[in-house]
Amino acid sequence: MGRGLPTGRFFSHPVIAAVNFAGSMFAVYHTPAFELSLTMYIAHLLMIVHLTVAGYLFINALIGVDPGPARPRYPLRILLLFVPMASHAFFGVALGMQEELLVPQWFGGLDRPWGLPPLEDQQDTAAIARGVSEFPMIILAMAIARAWTRDDERTARRLDRAADRDGEAELAQYNAMLARLAEGGPGSDQAVTRASASRAAEEVTARPREPHAS
C-alpha cells in the first residue's frame, strides 16, 4: 500500500492516517452516513470497513511491520498519537452533553419496554466510549515507547561495532578537532564541518530502516 496506488500512498501517510482516524467518528456519526448505516445493510458494512481500515492505517503508520510509507521518527509518532486521543475524548464529551438523539426518527421510534430512555442511553454510551477508548491508546503509546527503546539499543550496538572495526577512528578525529579548536589553529572551522558531517553520516548509516513495500 505504501508504494502502490497514489490513493493508497496518500491515505497511508502517517499524518493523513492520523487525521482520518481521528475524524472518522465525526464523519460517520454526525452526518447522514449514520442514518444510512441504520437503514441500509450495505451502508452498515461500508461503515465497519471504513472504521476498520482507518484504524489499521493509523496503527500501521506508528508501529506496524507491514509494508507502508516511511514512518516518522518516534517523537513525532507520540505526537500523532495525541491527535485521535484528543479527538475521541472530545467526541465522547460532546455526545454526552448532547440533548437530542443522533437519529431521533430511528432511536426515538423504537418504543422498547426495557432499558433506559434513548437519550439517557446515548449519554451513558458516550461516557463508556470516552473511557474505554483511552485504553487502546495507552497500549499503543506503550508499544511505541518499547519500539523506541529497542531502536536506540540497536543503534548503540551498531555504533559500538563500527567503533570496534575502525579502532574508534571517528572518536580520535573528533578529539583532534577539539584540540585544534582549543589551540585556535588553522583549519579549525573546516575540521568542525568535516567532523559534524562524518558524525551525521554515521548516525544515518546506523539508523535501522523501516520495512517498505516492494
Which value, to the nearest 10 degrees, does the dihedral of the CA atoms of residues 193, 198, 200, 201 take? 140
Alpha-carbon separation of residue 198 from 12, 53, 170 (angstroms)? 33, 42, 8
Task: Look at residue 52 in the predicted model and tell me its pLDDT.
Answer: 94
Determine the residue type at 212.
Answer: H
- For position 130, what pLDDT does the model report? 80
- What's the pLDDT tens digit per position in 12-29? 888 999 999 989 988 898
Instruction: List, for the chain, all residue ranges whose pLDDT scores fall below the cut of 50.
Output: 1-2, 188, 200, 204-214
pLDDT per residue as tens digits for the range 134-175: 888 888 889 989 988 888 888 878 877 776 776 666 666 777
**Dihedral sign from CA coordinates of 125, 127, 132, 134:** positive
Residue type at position 26:
F
For residue 117, the model assigns a pLDDT of 84
Cβ–Cβ under 8 Å, residues 134 and 89: yes
